[in-house]
């Protein structure tokens, strides 16, 4: 039981560490942000500081009907 609790603490520690050190957020900003917002800001930071870290799957352009999934 203690191992799973400590693993959960480590996950939040990582996110908080990235928010404070890389993004320059305060504790209040971190707790008010959503996970989606945090992830978008981290990706923007990666693109700015290390452009080779994030590569798009496809180039921006025209998509045709046969490239979209059918539900």
When pLDDT is cut at 50, 70 and 90, the band that residue 55 belongs to is: confident
Q: Answer yes or no: is 29 within a domain.
A: yes
Q: Which two tokens stand for residue 71?
A: 């539900």
When pLDDT is cut at 50, 70 and 90, the band that residue 58 belongs to is: low
- SS3 of the chain: helix, strand, coil, percent, to 5: 65, 0, 35
The parent domain of residue 7 ranges over: 2-54
For 23, which DSSP code? S
pTM score, whole prediction: 0.61
pLDDT (tens digit per residue) in 22-47: 999 999 999 999 989 998 999 899 88
Q: Answer yes or no: is 23 within a domain.
A: yes
Is 67 in contact with 57 (CB distance < 8 Å)? no
Per-residue pLDDT for 4 more than 90? no
When pLDDT is cut at 50, 70 and 90, the band that residue 1 belongs to is: very low
Q: Answer yes or no: is 62 within a domain.
A: no
Q: Answer yes or no: is 15 within a domain.
A: yes
Q: Answer yes or no: is 66 within a domain.
A: no
């Amino acid at each position: 039981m203690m191992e799973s609790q400590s693993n959960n603490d480590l996950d939040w520690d990582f996110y908080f560490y990235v928010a404070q050190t890389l993004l320059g957020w305060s504790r209040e900003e971190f707790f008010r942000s959503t996970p989606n917002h945090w992830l978008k800001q981290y990706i923007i930071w990666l693109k700015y500081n290390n452009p080779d870290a994030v590569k798009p799957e496809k180039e921006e352009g025209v998509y045709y009907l046969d490239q979209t999934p059918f539900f």
